[in-house]
């Protein structure tokens, strides 16, 4: 086997470095958000999720959710926000190490790790949305049927239409993952 067959090309290594940069950049942008529209809020209310904090009109949304018996959204109810930055930083470091080592086997491992992390992240968000929408207080002033907001898409509860969308940070992570796949195709044998 020739040397080229044992190592990824320099071009592939540069793509992996770019992937690491996208992973780091994702830390500075929202990963996901929910936008709530109602006649009394035509401009919309937001819950914006960064990897380390919540932003948006959280207090107003919590005040409204009180009427249907939903728990408050807060950074305390999402413990992932306390350590997710470190996990993402570690992933970026592993990605850079993969670029330096230039081994396909290491790249396969990294892609597997990112796939598992992505699946776990989606399942965690799905569980949180399920818990918030189905654990409604029976003593709430307004009675509604339990519901599960979608991860992506829209949902209607009473007079509120909710749109759930990916943020720029999520798109950067998707781009980082796709960049890792290119070397597998480019340096195939």
Cβ-contact 36, 155 below 8 angstroms? no
pLDDT of residue 1: 39
109-139 confidence digits (pLDDT tens) = 999 999 999 999 999 999 999 999 999 999 9
Give Cα 130 to chain centroid, integer Å: 16
Please name the helix (run of DSSP H) or strand (run of DSSP E) that holds residue 175, with its range, or none: helix 168-186
β-bridge mates for residue 154, sequence order: 163
CA distances from 71 to 58, 68, 111 (A): 12, 9, 36
**Length of the chain counted residue by residue:** 189
157-188 confidence digits (pLDDT tens) = 888 999 999 999 999 999 999 999 999 988 77
Please name the helix (run of DSSP H) or strand (run of DSSP E) that holds residue 166, with its range, or none: strand 160-166
66-114 confidence digits (pLDDT tens) = 999 999 999 999 999 999 999 999 999 999 999 999 999 999 999 999 9
pTM of the model: 0.91
Q: Order of strands across the sheet with 32-38?
A: 54-56, 41-49, 32-38, 160-166, 153-157
pLDDT of residue 105: 95
For the chain, domain boundaries? 3-184
Residue 2 clears pLDDT 70, i.e. is over it: no
| DSSP character string of 42-63 | EEEEEEEE-SS-EEESHHHHHH
Q: How far apart are CA 54 and CA 48, in angstroms?
A: 6
């Amino acid at each position: 086997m020739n040397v080229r067959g044992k190592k990824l090309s320099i071009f592939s290594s540069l793509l992996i470095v770019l992937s690491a940069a996208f992973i780091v950049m994702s830390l500075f942008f929202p990963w996901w958000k929910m936008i709530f529209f109602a006649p009394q809020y035509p401009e919309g209310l937001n819950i914006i999720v960064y990897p380390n904090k919540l932003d948006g009109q959280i207090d107003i949304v919590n005040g409204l959710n009180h009427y249907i018996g939903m728990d408050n959204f807060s950074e305390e109810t999402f413990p992932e926000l306390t350590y997710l930055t470190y996990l993402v930083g570690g992933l970026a470091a592993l990605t850079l190490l993969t670029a330096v080592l230039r081994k396909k086997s290491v790249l396969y491992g990294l892609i597997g790790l990112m796939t598992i992390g992505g699946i776990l992240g989606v399942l965690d968000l799905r569980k949180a949305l399920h818990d918030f929408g189905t654990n409604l207080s029976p003593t709430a002033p307004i009675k509604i049927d339990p519901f599960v907001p979608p991860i992506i898409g829209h949902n209607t509860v009473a007079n509120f239409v909710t749109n759930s969308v990916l943020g720029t940070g999520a798109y950067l992570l998707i781009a980082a993952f796709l960049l890792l796949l290119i070397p597998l195709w480019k340096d195939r044998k």
